[in-house]
Every structure is written in C-alpha cells, then in structure tokens.
Structure 1
C-alpha cells in the first residue's frame, strides 16, 4: 500500500486528517492504457478538459458519504441541484448521500466564472463523466477483490452485486480507491432512460433551508469575534480626496480602526450601527475634488453614436449574391438605457486574515477564482494567500458589487488581523456604484421583395463594454482604483463575436440571403458598466424581434408566419409553434386596448431556445401598460430538472418585463441620481402576470444553458404587444406610463 501525498492545492486537507490511498488496480489501469492507445490526452467533456483528475470532482468516503466538488456556484439558478441529480444517477447512489462543495478556491475544480448560461453545458457533462468513471473503477475493484468478471455487476445505493452472488460496496472499497488519476473519457455514461433522478421534477436542495429561515446567505453570516466594516465612497466617479481629519471618527463609540489609503476610506467597528455612524462622520469630514464630465442619461444615446469607437467589428459579413434588387427598404432604430442589477439584498462579504497569512473571504461572487487573484494583486500578496469561498447571496445574475464587497472586506480585514470583518453596502452605495448593464443603440435596415420577404438585412449596434469582471486584475475592483498606489482599469474587451458581449445575439437566427452585422465597440465608459443578465442579447433581440414584427406588419403577414418563413432551424420553429399553440394565437380575439406579441431567440445562437407570447392591456388615457398573461416555450436540450428550467424561464421573463416597463438608470453631469427604489422602481408582485412555461425535452441531446434565454424574447414580445394594442411602435424602453402616453398623443 502506498500513501500518496496531497497536492499543494489541497494541502489543507492533510491537516484535517484526510489522506489519499492507492494500490494497483489492473482493470483501472487498463482503462487508462486504452485511452493512451487511442491517442494522448483524449478530449474530455465540458470543464473536465481543464480539470482532468477524477479527484478534482469526487471523493468516496468509507463512512458512506459521496462528496461532489464543482467550481460553478449557486445563484438561484438551481445548478447545484441539477449536478447532484446527475452525480447520484451515474454513481447509483441515493441523492441524500451526495454532499456538495462548490466555489471554494482551495478545494473546487477551477471552472472559471459562473456566467453565460455555461453551467449546464460545461459543468454537467464533466460531473456525468467523472461519476461514470468512478463507478466503473469501483466495479473493477469489486471484480478484482472477488475474482469475478467485471461484467454483469449492478449497484443500488452503493451496494454492489456481481456474478454468482458476489457482493461488495463502495464504502468498503473506498480506502483503496485512488482518484488522483486523470479521467480517460473511455467510460460511456448511462442511457438517459435508466436515470432515476435526471429528467424528474426534483425539489431544489437549497429550498428547505431558505423556507425555514436558516442562515444561508452571506449577508447573514455571524462568525465568532465578528467586526463590522463600512466604506466611504467619493461623491462622483473621478473625485479625489484632498483632505480628511479622522480624529473625531476614531473617538466614536465602538470604532476599532479607521482605514485610509489614498482616496479609499473605511472604518471597522464593534457593531454595525457604530460602523455606519462612523462612516457618516468620515463622509461629512472628507473634502473632495469633483469633476463634472457625464453626458447625462438623456444625452447618452447621442453620445454613443458620436463617440469614436475603439473598435469596429464586422460581426457578420454576408452580402447577397445576385438576385433581384429590393423593392422597398425599411429602417428603424432601437434604444436600451442603462439597467441595474437591482439586487434585493445589497452586496456583502466576510473576510479574515489568518495567522498563516491567508486572507479567507466568504463571498457571493460569481467569479471566485478570478476575484481571489485580483484581490491578491490588490493586496500585493501571492495568489495562494487569498482563498475565496462561495456563499449564496440574495443577489443577481451578472457582475454586481459582490466582488467589490469581497475586496473592501479584505482591505478592512488586513487592518485588523485575526478578526473577521463583515462589510455590507447601503442601498444608496449599491445603486450608485454597481456596474450597470450598458446602454445601447441598434440601427436596423432591411431590403424586401414584393411579398415583404427580407433580401438584405443590416444591423449596426453601438455599445460600451458588457464585461469588466475582476478577471484576475485588481484594476477591475472599484476600491483598487482609489488607493494611494491606484490600479488602472485594464482596457475592456468585447469578448469575441458573435456570442459574447455587445454583439451577443446580434446575428439573427433567421436565414436572410444578405446578412450583415456591424459592432461599434466603445471602451469609454461615462458610468461604470459590466455584465447584466444576457449582456447585449437583451437589446439585440429586442431590436431584431421588434423589427421582424414591423416588417411582418408592413407585409400584411401574421407575425408568427412571417418568422417561420425566414427560419429553417427546426428546433427554433418548434418553440415558436409551441408558444403559439399554448397561447392560443390562432383563436385570439382582438379587443379594444388589448394586444398580443411574440418574441423568439436561441440564446447566443448556441444555447437554449425560447419563444415568449404576451397579451397586454394599454390604458390609453394614462399610458399604463398591464401584462395580462405570458406564455413561454423553451428547449434546453436534455432536461435534468424540468422544474428548475421552468423557474429560470419564468424568472428571466419577469425580470425582462421589469426592465422593459420600469427600469432606467438616471444620472446628471456629475453623479448617478438613481439611488433607491423610488428613483429606480422595479416590478412589484402586483405587476406580475400569470406565467405558463411549456418545455420541449430532448433526451440524450446536449444540455443547453437556460438562465438568460428569456430576456430578449420577453422584451421584444412586450414591445410587439404594445404596438398591436395601440398602433404605435415604441422603440425605447422603459415603457413608462409617461412615455407611452406621450407617444400616443404625439
């Protein structure tokens, strides 16, 4: 028997008494040899390609526990429940045995940022393959131990039955199982028909704790010896601290430490209200140099079109080859304002500097691996000295202030070694300083034939960045820019067309003979921006699907039939047809003030399909838009947890309604003025319509990301329904009563 030392990455496990044991397993080696014969380093599924060791994903304990490790994190999308279902099915164990560790930079496989609807396409196949290979190894170990053939074994909750009554169990074999080996990719996962959990309506594993009020969110953490921190933000983005007398604040009750580093100011106190009071005193005492440089929220669309782009990208260039000239050309321009994440719970983190020099941070960041490296850069320490552990937050999809809270907590904790420091932003801080979803302008033009069919389609978009996540660089952390030795923000990148940032879903899925998309990518940022749910897809789909409706009406063709004329993708056609059927499109009767609309997209043109149909009522006297009912049809490939997919579609639909009806970040030439729920209203429960979600299951097909699939189709469906109800086309959101009334009386 050989004891294999733990790797540096998991060295802390050794202190906890966990060791890895191994002995030669001829059959297991045979799997590796077979893979080697097929070619060096076989391509492995999903995120297993970059985390190739089985032990990166699974541990089997002699105590009957199965530990699943994943780098993706839970944001409310249900990913941890889904991968647990997959793990339990492939291993043939009861799902209650599976314990999950997620988003811990000291333990989990590095799966990068949890974003872009990539969790199911990338994490789920890796978990499936890892579990399938571990099951195969255990069966081969049982065969070797009992002297029976490896064929014909069955497993029920870890109990193994083989030929001629042979018996074994995972748990008795666990001490001899070495998972410090690379996966081979040679083991075929189960037939979907044999799954017990996958494809079934399975309740989310995190719901019981949330329903019973357990402290599950980072905002609720209260470790022993906890101190509380607050930061003092500048009055504007580019303000510089010119003077600050800290003496009065340092004498206030409960104050442990005032931290000043350049223009960064913070305070640590015994109690939260003491930290808030001291921060207010520091803010009142601070003197700042303030710059007036913003184009204002009313002037942003002109600014976008006049500012020279850093890069002009030919996202798609497909000129029409021959044929008759277009008989008519139609044009329209659409506008998206800045949107907040609007997290109900403001961002928070808890950090502690240990005696070993390791800064441990509990955070709800979606990018724990990159954020830990960015914080290490900010602190000037080796990246091994910062450990991030994901804890759920009442947050959002996208890059809100979770990473900033982690960085600020670390800056404050560094000043009080050995004591955990909790930092949580005020509502005003969260609203005014979070990175918003970028404002955009989208110009569309189409040349059509005598029947209204599109011959030449041109889309040109103008956008600032949609991605300024930490990305392992301190300059993307807000407070790092205000330090005495500030970190410069790196120049943002578009991420690569066609499916990433500004031009996400800018290429329509429809089949047009001529199809051109031009992206004007502007790296100047009047206000702070980054990733919100769907990135550029919301605005691009809003424009594409609104324009398709305008073209259909100009041609005198039903909007659904017009789309189907131009769409060859059979799965796209299926979701449109399913949404129309469920909505009762063909039976719908027109009423005064009522309208219907449809919107469709395949997210990023590589992920989940979604079509949304809405019925609205518009009060023409006051301009109020009420969504009467909503229907969505979705195809996410092989469904692991149908209830989870429905939740994602419904949640995205409701958020998109909120964006399109109510949300817009306002700012003057100096500062953001949307600083609370009055100045930045969101959809309330009274505004939410009945929502019906129908799913198309495709067993055995690849898993398709779902979390952002409903954003664009919903906004477009709403615009189309309002146009149907009023005869007036609104191309700029939000559709507030004031804006709609003005449009109807213009």
Structure 2
C-alpha cells in the first residue's frame, strides 16, 4: 500500500557529476517527488507512467565522465603498465629457456572485449525501508553476499535487512538486479514509502556490471616428434571481477556513501595453461585494479576467453606440425576422461582425420570444421566441441551450421535440465563470439539497445547434437557454464579450416573477417 514507482536519472556514463538540476522542469507532474543524494538522482510517483515521463523531462546538467577511454583503446591500456600487481600462476620446468632454445616455435595474441549480460528483461526491485527494518524484493544472485552492503547503505545492522528472492531476468554472474535493489532501498529510505524501481533497456546495457576485457599472448614450441616442447601464456586482466565486496553498487557510489570494498582474483585467470602434457609451462598475469566500466563475473568467468586463446593456439601448433587438430590433441592428452570426450565428440560430429584445408564449397561460400577441448578449471567438467561453419567471403558473415558436444560432469541427476544448460551455453557463447561488444567513446556507452547490441537470432540457431556421459560412481560436477568454455575456440578453428584466417579478436564481425581475408 502506498508504493511509489521510481526511475533513476543517469548521466551519459559512470563517473559524471551533477552540475545543476532544474526541478521546475517537471512541475507539470504534481505527484512526482525528486530524490537527490550527491550525484544520485531519481524521481518517484504513484503512477509509473508519470515517473517515466518526469525522468525524461527533468533538466539536468552533468559534467563529462573522466573514466572512459574509448572501447578501441582498451586492449592497449590492458597491455600497458604500470600494473597494480603481477603474478606467476603456473611454473613447470623452464618454459623461458626452452622457448629461447627452440627452433620450431610460434606466438600469437588474443583479445576478448567488454560485454554486457544482455538479460532479456531489464532489472527490477521493490524495497520497503522503515525506521528499524528493511525488506527488499530482488532477483539478485547474491542476496546473502550483498546484505552487508545494503545494511551499510541504510545505516542498519545486517539482521535488520531482509532480502527476499523473486524470479527475474537471469544472468550468470551479476547484472543490474543488485543495483536496482540499492536504488529502490535508497529511495524508500529517503521518501519513507515502499518504492519499486524498474530499469530501462538503456540502463541495463549502459550501467550493468560488465564482463571484463582480457588480453593474452601465447608462445609455444614443438619437439622433433611434433609434441609440445614448451608453452608460455601471459595475461593482462582487471582483477576486480568478483561479487561483493569487489563490485561497487551504483546507488551508494553516486550518493557518496561508503560501502564494502575489496580485490578479488581467481576465476578470471583460470584455464590459461594447456590441458595437455607439456614439460615446460609458464603462465603469468599482469593485474589492473580498475577497468573502464565496472567489471563483474559473466557466464564461465574468464574461462571462455582463456580457453579460446589456449585452444586456438593449440590448433596453430597442430597446423605448424602438419597434423590433424584432433590427433594432435590426443597425442598429448593423458587424461582418460578428457580423451573420451574428444573421441565421442569426433564420432558424434563425423570427424574425418586430415590437416586443415582451404575449405569446401564454391568461390564465395566456404565451409570448415573446428574442434576444441576444455577441462573446466582443470578439476571439474570435461567438454569437447566440434563445429561446422560457413563463411561468406564476400560479406564476411559467419554462419554456424552444426555443433557436436560430448559432456562429462560425472553423475547426472537431471538429464533434461543438463541438456538445456548445455544448449543455452552453446547458443549464448556463439552470440558472444559473433556479435557482442560494448562500444563506447570518451563520453558514453554507444550501444544501449538490441539494434546496436545484437545477439543471436532464432534463424541463426545451428543444429545441436549433444552426448551426455553419465558416470554414476563419480561425484556430480557443474553443468551451467563448462559447455560455454570451448565454443569460441571451436568456432574460430572452423573459420581457419574454411578460409585460412586466424581470428584473434572477439567478436568475429563481418568487418574483421573481411579485413583478415584481405591480409592472406
């Protein structure tokens, strides 16, 4: 009873400050209340349409943001110092010395851009904050983790804040749900009434925490018997990518309120080393404590980009050895379960042993196949992926035709649910590989709708063939993210097989494909 509908008025980009607010510009909406706390600015009204109209009509002058550098400069920034920390993650043998003394060696660099979760429905929350107790209805994945942040923002003890989970547009990581809840709670505390906050599509694309950028450079060398002699991976990553207390909430941040802070690493740097038998391996990471846009975990955090680099580079080594990509992997894979998912995927796909070709098809449209393997976190689910693509040489468009996947997560409890998770992982990651990148200049995020930030459409959905490997005597492992991890690598390797180009920057847009074709 008495609930108000709230809308937050946001600047063009994070980091901007309010210069002036003309509240007289919304005097034609008599029931609308303005909430301003520092640079947090919102309107609330009994009628939602009045709140929407008032938010659009309120005249606000903002300063320019000093955070953005332009999306096309992020990779250079990532790879440039000074760094906030540097770390050796893996050291086996002496990769540096082995590479220096090797005659048959190659190197390659890869880049993964900033991406949004792209939840189909924008975030929403309801908060009812009283003098001694607060109740927040939210679709957050982190109700327990974020409780201290809401309590600190509201000036209450943790036990006075109750968070009730409700279904909302999902994500794997952290989208805008936590921020919408903070918006609603701050407005409810200020106005003394329950407040419902609904984000817009522009809010979601422009201000949700983003999947972070990642840059990698790999070096490798072959032995005389075509096995891998040495491997070195260097990563450049922002390390503030976990949930609480690392990701700051927008409402207290813009209102100038303190909130829990911290630095977290771990998830984003996993799977940077090869899953194959190599005598000399080194993996190092250069950490940044900041990022152009708030970074947060996104599905299979870090692993898709890292396995994309590792498995594409494995294909490059196979090509250097003149070997079939599947045979090259199997000769160095000592894990029996890993070898089995590769072999089962190959059988499911109808893999024919040969070195990479120049593709099949006519002069314009060429088809190719690619394969990739993932042992998720090196201690969880085993996945292999084979993919057939068609590349239009004239337009640069890539179309995924069919996908085969063998998946071993130990004991299977819900086969239908697991299959749905695998299908979703594959389709979402095809979308992230082909289309998705947050673009921004020095003033604003530029693609804040589905027209400018496209995702995979139903006509582009490929044929999916999935084999579930049930192991009743083994413990159950994860099924929600592992299948996403080898998708991009399999896709890129299939493009190489089709038209002979290496795609080392995501997304694989027609423009990038045509530019790569012109270089060969």
TM-score (norm 2): 0.94
Cα displacement (A) at 1:742: 1.6
Q: Deviations over 1:546-585 (max 9, x none)?
A: 0000110110111111111111111111111111110010
Counterpart for residue 302 of structure 1 = 76
SS class of match (1:298): helix
Say whether 1:719 aligns with 2:485.
no
Q: Residue 437 of structure 2 corresponds to which residue in structure 1?
A: 664
Query: Distance between the aligned counterparts of 1:311 and 1:254, measured in 2?
Result: 52
CA distance in 2, matches of 1:410, 1:365: 14
For the pair 1:591 / 2:354, whether they are aligned, the reply is no
Q: CA deviation at 1:601?
A: 0.6
CA shift at 1:281, angstroms? Answer: 2.2
Q: Which runs of 5+ in 1 are unaligned?
A: 1-223, 495-499
Report the alpha carbon displacement of residue 509 of structure 1 after superposing the two structures with TM.
1.8
1:345 aligned to 2:135?
no
Per-residue Cα deviation, 1:442-500 (whole angstroms, up to 9, x for no partner): 100012112321111100010113525233x8x711111111x4336735321xxxxx3
Name structure 2 gaps, 5 residues minimum.
none
Deviation for aligned residue 1:247: 4.1
Against the structure 1 CA distance between its residues 489 and 740, is the aligned structure 2 distance closer, same or farther, given a 3 Å change threshold? farther
1:326 CA displacement: 2.9
- The 8 Å contact of residues 320 and 455 in structure 1, kept in 2 or not, is answered as no
1:141-180 equivalent positions in 2, closer than 5 A: none
| Partner of residue 391, structure 2 | 618
Aligned partner (choices 163, 168, 173) of residue 398 of structure 1: 173
Aligned to 1:242: 19
Identify the residue that residue 35 of structure 2 maps to in structure 1: 259
Q: Which residue number in structure 2 is paired with residue 126 of structure 1?
A: none
1:609-655, Cα deviation, whole Å (9 max, x unpaired): 11111000111111111111011110011000011111111111111
Alignment of structure 1 residues 512-551 onto 2, 5 Å? 512-551=278-317
1:509 aligned to 251, 266, 275, which one? 275
Q: Which has the higher contact order (CA 8 A, sep 6+)?
A: 2
Q: Show CA shifts across 1:198-253 (max 9, x none).
A: xxxxxxxxxxxxxxxxxxxxxxxxxx544211111122221111222324436514
Q: Relative to 1, partners in 2 of residues 1:465 and 1:678: Cα closer, same or farther, differing over 3 Å?
A: farther
CA distance in 2, matches of 1:452, 1:488: 54
After TM superposition, give the deviation of residue 254 of structure 1 in Å.
3.6
Contact 1:451 1:555 in 2 (8 A): no
Match of 1:481 in 2: 253
On the 8 A contact 2:221/2:231 being kept in 1, the answer is yes
Report deviation, 1:515: 0.8
Q: 2:63 aligns with which of 289, 292, 296?
A: 289
Q: Is the 8 A contact 1:468 1:476 kept in 2?
A: no
Q: Shift of the alpha carbon at 1:430?
A: 0.9
Match of 1:628 in 2: 401
Counterpart for residue 467 of structure 2: 694
| Corresponding position of 2:232 | 458
CA distance in 2, matches of 1:448, 1:248: 70
After superposition, what is the alpha-carbon deviation per residue over 1:391-438, rounded to whole angstroms, capped at 9, x for unaligned? 111221111111001111111122343x43211111111111111111
Equivalent pairs counted in the alignment come to 510
Q: Corresponding residue for 1:77? A: none
Provide the alpha-carbon RMSD of the alignment.
Answer: 2.0
SS in 2 for 1:502: helix
CA distance in 1 between partners of 2:80 and 2:493 (Å): 29
Aligned equivalents of 1:250 and 1:694: distance in 2? 62
Check whether the contact 1:616–1:629 (CA below 8 A) recurs between aligned residues. yes
Question: Is 1:731–2:504 an aligned residue pair?
Answer: yes
Do residues 604 (structure 1) and 381 (structure 2) align?
A: no
Structure 2 residue aligned with 1:555: 321
Whole-angstrom CA distance in 1 between matches of 2:65 and 2:471? 56
What's the counterpart of residue 145 of structure 2?
370
Q: Judging changes above 3 Å, is the alpha-carbon distance between structure 1 residues 680 and 307 closer, same or farther for their aligned structure 2 residues?
A: farther
Partner of 1:414: 189
- Report if the CA contact (8 A) 1:466-1:531 is conserved: no
Question: Is the counterpart of residue 387 in structure 1 residue 169 in structure 2?
Answer: no
SS at match of 1:335: strand
Does 243-252 or 262-271 show the bigger shift?
243-252
Of 502-511 and 662-671, deviating more is 502-511
**CA distance 1:323–1:350, shift in 2 (3 Å):** closer
Does residue 674 of the first structure (1) align with residue 470 of the second (2)?
no
2:210 aligned with 1:432, yes or no? no
Checking the alignment, whether the CA contact within 8 Å between 1:347 and 1:395 is kept in structure 2 is: no
CA contact 1:465–1:501 (8 Å) conserved in 2: no
Larger radius of gyration: 1
8 Å Cα contact 2:113/2:214 also seen in 1: yes
Equivalent of 1:336 in 104, 108, 112: 112
Kept after mapping to 1: 8 A contact 2:5/2:44: yes
Question: For residues 123-181 of structure 1, what are the alpha-carbon distances to aligned partners after superposition, in whole Å with 9 as ceiling and x for unaligned?
Answer: xxxxxxxxxxxxxxxxxxxxxxxxxxxxxxxxxxxxxxxxxxxxxxxxxxxxxxxxxxx
Structure 1 residue 270: deviation in Å? 1.2
**Which residue among 501, 516, 519 is the counterpart of 1:743?**
516
Contact 1:466 1:536 in 2 (8 A): no
Judge conservation of contact 2:152–2:259 (CA < 8 Å) in 1: no
TM-aligned CA deviation for residue 670 of structure 1: 2.0
SS for the counterpart of 1:389 is: strand
Say whether the 8 Å CA contact 1:349–1:361 is kept in structure 2. Answer: yes
Q: CA deviation at 1:686?
A: 1.1
CA contact (8 A) 2:4 2:46 kept: yes
In structure 1, C-alpha distance between the alignment counterparts of 2:220 and 2:137, rounded to whole Å: 51
Deviation at 1:261, TM superposition (A): 0.6
* Deviation string, structure 1 residues 76-95 (Cα, Å, up to 9, x no partner): xxxxxxxxxxxxxxxxxxxx
Higher strand share: 2
Distance change (3 Å), C-alpha of 1:262 and 1:662: same
Q: Which residue of 2 aligns with 1:319?
A: 93
